Amino acid sequence: MKRILHVALILILFTSCKTEQEKKPKALPYFGNYDIVFSETDGVESIDTIFPKIPAFSYLNQDSNVITSESMKGKVWIANFFFTSCPSICPPMISQMKRLNLLTQDLASEVQFMSFSIDPKTDQPHILKTYIKNNGIQTKNWYFFTGDEAKTHRLGVMHFMVHADKDPMAAGGFAHSDGMVLVDKEGYVRGVYRGTQTKEVDKLNNDLRKLLEIEYGINSKQP
């Protein structure tokens, strides 16, 4: 009897998960710690896997304008964490981010790039603006953010899943990863990529296009 119940439970879970997946085609996996939620409707049990969303946030951008996550709703995000005086991984990471931004200009209306400064005491809007100019970056769909330092570090580590923190032993006084993060239009993290490696950034470009085509019906042609 126990064996029969066990098999029945497996079938219920499999059927429920399959039904949930079939509601919408998935181009990429979801990232983050998830919760399993059981529910019952009209006597039918179901199970859902709930992944975390990026929480609401608000920052000043390079033009000293307040930008909220809500104002960027409806776009796919590509994000990284950096600081302008970083002497190590930031220059190649920002260079790759710049390359990706140019590669995806055909999708500029669908994609929002964002770079969060983890050293906001130094990286005030006018510093960010100078950095943008010195690096020849176009900001048609790219915000550079500055705001509360502790909140930014938590946002990176807990939600965008990239390391960002003060470290007196690290070059420049801050330690962070080179992750570029792909976030879908609903606010779920769908990929984290090594932002200093050309092959990884090319994969991000391909995954972005796959996500837009399969889940949002937006066809694109590789430039």
> What pTM did the predictor assign?
0.83
Mean pLDDT, residues 70-80 taken together: 97
**Position 2 pLDDT exceeds 70:** no
**Position 19 pLDDT exceeds 60:** no
For 132-173, the pLDDT digits (tens) are 999 999 999 999 999 999 999 999 999 999 987 776 666 667
Average pLDDT over the chain, rounded to an integer: 85
Confirm if 76 and 208 have CB atoms less than 8 A apart.
yes
pLDDT cut 90: percent of the chain above it: 69
Mean pLDDT, residues 121-128 taken together: 97
Going from the C-alpha of 152 to that of each of 13, 15, 52, 198, the distances in angstroms are: 38, 40, 17, 26
**Position 32 pLDDT exceeds 70:** yes
pLDDT in the model for residue 40: 58
pLDDT cut 70: percent of the chain above it: 78
pLDDT in the model for residue 102: 97
